[in-house]
Chain A
Amino acid sequence: MVEVRGLSKHFKEVKAVDNISFYISPGEIVGLLGENGAGKTTTLRMIATMLKPTSGTALVNGYDLIKEPHKVRSQIGILFGGEVGLYDRLTARENIRYFADLNEMDSKEAEKSIENLIKLLGMEEFIDRRVGKFSRGMKQKVAIARSIVHNPSVMLFDEPTIGLDVTSSKIVQDFILSCKGENKSIIFSSHSMQEVEKLCDRIIIIHKGKIVEDGTLDEMKTKYGQDLEEVFLRLVGESR
C-alpha cells in the first residue's frame, strides 16, 4: 500500500511536483498519466527515496519515506523505461544477483528467487551469458527480473514501454499484470491514455506537478463520456 501525503518537489523555481496526495491499494494498478515534464518521474523518484521531497511525505506499507528510507526501499521495486541499464560485461545471472545482494538478500534466498524468475520469464537459454550482445527483449527480461528479485510488494513503473517494440512491450505489460495477480500495489506512469486504459484500474492525471483528475475508468467515463483520450487532452489543455 502506498499513501502519498502532500508531496512536493521544487528544483529552484520549478515546482516539478506540487502538493499531490493519492493512495494505491494492494492488487491495484494505478496509472499516472501526464505529458512530458508533468512530474511523473519526480514523483516516482521521491516514493523510491531517490529524491528528498521539498515538503510532504508518503507511507509505503506503513513506512515513512523521510524517517525510514531504508525500510521503504525494501518494499519497492522500480522498472524504468528507456535504456535498460544493465552491465554488459556481466552475465544475466550476475546482473540480477548483484541487485539481490544490494537488496541484502541472503545467498539461499537470492538463488531461489533467481531460479523462480528464470522460469517465470523464460530465461533458461541465456541466463549465464554476458548481457552485451542480448536482443532488446532479452535485456528487458533481465531488467524486469532485477527489479523484482527481492520480491517487493510495491512496484513502480516509469514509462516502462517507452521506445520498445511490440514484443518487448508485451513482455512488460504481461509482467505488470502478473504483479497484480500477486496482489502488489502498482503505479504505472505513461503519457499515453491508450496504454493506461488497457492496464489500469484507476487513473491519476497529473499536469504541471498537480493532480487534475483521479478516478477509476468507470467513474471517468460516466463523468466525461466514453472517449478518454479526448478527456485527457481536454484536462491538460484546460490548465495550460
Chain B
Amino acid sequence: MNIKGVLTVFNKEIKDLFRDRKTLVVGILIPFLIFPLIFGLMGRGIESSTKKVEENLKIGVVDKGNSSLSKFLKSQQKVTVIDSQDIQKDVKDGKVYVGLIIPENFDNMVNENKQVDLKMVMDDSSQSSMMAQGSLGAMIEAYSKEVVKSRLTSRGIDPIILTPFTTSIETVSKEQGGFTKFMMSLMLPLMLLMYAVSGPLAAAIDLGAGEKERGTLEPLLTTQTSRMNLLFGKFFAITVMGVIGVISSIAGLMISMKISPGVFGGKGGLSFPIPALVIMGILTILLTMVFGALELSISIYARSFKEAQTYLTPFTFIGMAAAYGTYAMEIKNVSLFLFNIPLVNASLVMKELINGLFNPVHIAITFVWIFVYAAAAIAFARYMFSRERVIFRT
C-alpha cells in the first residue's frame, strides 16, 4: 500500500460518486430534507391549531336563562360566546370549538346553594376542540371558585381555609430546554446510528458490486497498483460519503429545530459543550468507517448490484435495533456491562453526552471497542479483497 496509489483511487471514486445524481440524492439531499419536512409538517399542524384556539376561543352556549356564567364567559378576553340552537351540530361542524349547556334556572340554583349540572359538548376527534374544552373547563373552575368565595365571605369565613397548601415546582436541570434535551437524547443516537449504517451504503454497493457488474474490476486488477491501494482508496471514499450523509442529516435536524421549535418543546435552543460534540462526531465517523468497511467487504463478494442490496439491507435493521433497544433506557443507572455491547455502547454514550453526563470510563470502554470493531472490519475487508474466491466469484 502507498499513499499515492490510495489517493489515485480515492480521487477517482469521489469524482465518480459526485457525478452520480442518484448517489447525491439518496446520500445527501434526502438525509438533509427529511427532518425539516417531517417536523415542518407536524409543527405546522400543532402550532396552527393551538394558535387558532388561543386567539379566539369560540364557545357555543345553550342558556335560556341568560345566566351569570355566560356573562362571565363573555367578559373573558379572546373568547366569543355564540348562542346555539343545535349545540351538537355546531360543535361537530366546527362552527364553535366547544359547547356548554347551562340549565335555565342556573342563577336561582346557585343562589339557593344547590348543585348545578353543567354539560360540555366537545368533538374528541378534533385537536382544537380538545384544547378549547380544556380552556373552558378552567374558566368554569375559576367561576366556581368565585361563587364559593362569595358564599364563604357572606358567612364570615376566610376563603383561605379552602387552600391549606400551595405548591410550586422547581426543575433539577438548571438550563432551559429540558424537554428539547429529552427529545434529542431519544432521537440523535437513533439518527446517528442509522446514518452510520446507511450513509456509506450506496457508495459501498457502487464501489464493490457495481465495479463487478460493469466489468471494470478485472481491468483494475491488471494494473500495477496493489489490491490494498484499491481497497483503501475505496474505503476512504465510502467513509467520506457516509460522513457527508451524517452531516447533512444533522444539519437538517438543526434547521428543523430552528423552523419548527414547537415540535421540540419550545424555543430554548440546544447547545452542546464542544467536547461532547467532538466525541459524538468522532464516534459517528468511526462507526461509519466500521460499517463502510463491512459493507464494502460484502459488496465485493456480491456478483451484482441486486445481490449486494439483498445482502446489505439487513444492516439497516441492525442499526435500528441497537438504537431502539436503548431508546427508552434510563441513562442514570445503566449497568457497565452494556458498554461492551456493539452499537448499544455508542448509543448510550451519546445519550449521556446529550444529557451533560461525561463519564470517562464509559467513553473509554466504548472507544476501545469501536477501535476493535474498526480494525476487525478493515481486516475482514482486506481478507475479502485478497481472496480469489471472492473477487472472481462466479
> With a CB–CB cut-off of 8 A, which chain B residues contact A74?
224
Residue contact A99 to B219, C-beta cutoff 8 Å: yes
> With a CB–CB cut-off of 8 A, which chain B residues contact A83?
214-215
A86–B20 alpha-carbon span in the complex (Å): 15
**Using a Cβ–Cβ cut-off of 8 Å, how many residues does chain A contribute to the interface with B?**
32
Q: Render A28-49 as a binary contact track against B, CB cut-off 8 A, 1 for contact.
A: 0000000000000000010010
The segment from B11-19, B34-42, B299-307 that touches chain A is B11-19
A76 is an interface residue with CB less than 8 A from chain B: yes
B66 is an interface residue with CB less than 8 A from chain A: no
Residue contact A102 to B224, C-beta cutoff 8 Å: yes
> With a CB–CB cut-off of 8 A, which chain A residues contact B12?
87, 90, 94, 98, 101
Residue contact B20 to A89, C-beta cutoff 8 Å: yes
A99–B223 alpha-carbon span in the complex (Å): 7
Cross-chain contact of A104 among B16, B218, B224, B388 (Cβ < 8 A): B224
With A101-B8, A102-B5 in contact, is A50–B216 under 8 Å at CB?
A: no
Residue contact A87 to B220, C-beta cutoff 8 Å: no
A70 is an interface residue with CB less than 8 A from chain B: yes
Closest chain B CB from A184 CB (angstroms): 15
> With a CB–CB cut-off of 8 A, which chain B residues contact A94?
12, 15
Cross-chain contact of A85 among B4, B15, B19, B219 (Cβ < 8 A): B219
Residue contact A84 to B5, C-beta cutoff 8 Å: no
Residue contact A50 to B16, C-beta cutoff 8 Å: no
Closest residue to B216 on the A side, CB-wise?
A: A85
Residue contact B218 to A50, C-beta cutoff 8 Å: yes
> With a CB–CB cut-off of 8 A, which chain B residues contact A141?
none
Residue contact A73 to B16, C-beta cutoff 8 Å: no
Closest chain A CB from B50 CB (angstroms): 49
Q: Render B147-188 as a binary contact track against A, CB cut-off 8 A, 1 for contact.
A: 000000000000000000000000000000000000000000
A119–B392 alpha-carbon span in the complex (Å): 35
Residue contact A51 to B214, C-beta cutoff 8 Å: no
> With a CB–CB cut-off of 8 A, which chain A residues contact B20?
89
Q: Render B369-394 as a binary contact track against A, CB cut-off 8 A, 1 for contact.
A: 00000000000000000001000100
A83–B219 alpha-carbon span in the complex (Å): 11
B225 is an interface residue with CB less than 8 A from chain A: yes
Q: Render B194-220 as a binary contact track against A, CB cut-off 8 A, 1 for contact.
A: 000000000000000000001111111
Residue contact B214 to A103, C-beta cutoff 8 Å: no
Residue contact B224 to A103, C-beta cutoff 8 Å: yes
Residue contact A102 to B214, C-beta cutoff 8 Å: no
Closest chain B CB from A131 CB (angstroms): 11
Q: Render A139-154 as a binary contact track against B, CB cut-off 8 A, 1 for contact.
A: 0000100110010000
Cross-chain contact of B216 among A73, A87, A147 (Cβ < 8 A): A87
Closest residue to A86 on the B side, CB-wise?
A: B216
Closest chain B CB from A55 CB (angstroms): 15
Closest residue to B225 on the A side, CB-wise?
A: A102
> With a CB–CB cut-off of 8 A, which chain B residues contact A143?
219
A50–B222 alpha-carbon span in the complex (Å): 7
Closest chain A CB from B33 CB (angstroms): 24
Cross-chain contact of A102 among B215, B218, B220 (Cβ < 8 A): B220
A186 is an interface residue with CB less than 8 A from chain B: no
B221 is an interface residue with CB less than 8 A from chain A: yes
A82 is an interface residue with CB less than 8 A from chain B: yes
A45–B392 alpha-carbon span in the complex (Å): 11
Cross-chain contact of B219 among A89, A90, A146, A150 (Cβ < 8 A): A146
Q: Render A44-84 as a binary contact track against B, CB cut-off 8 A, 1 for contact.
A: 01001011100000000000000000100110111010111
Q: Render A150-192 as a binary contact track against B, CB cut-off 8 A, 1 for contact.
A: 1000000000000000000000000000000000000000000
> With a CB–CB cut-off of 8 A, which chain B residues contact A103?
223-225
* 27 A–B contacts, CB within 8 A, in A order: A48-B221, A50-B218, A50-B221, A50-B222, A50-B392, A51-B388, A51-B392, A70-B224, A73-B224, A76-B222, A77-B222, A78-B222, A80-B219, A83-B215, A84-B215, A85-B214, A85-B215, A85-B216, A90-B16, A90-B19, A98-B12, A99-B219, A102-B5, A102-B8, A103-B224, A147-B219, A150-B224
The 3 closest A-B CB pairs, nearest first, are A85-B215, A83-B215, A102-B223
Further contacts, 8 of them, CB under 8 A, given A78-B219, A99-B223? A73-B222, A83-B215, A84-B215, A87-B214, A90-B12, A90-B15, A102-B225, A103-B225
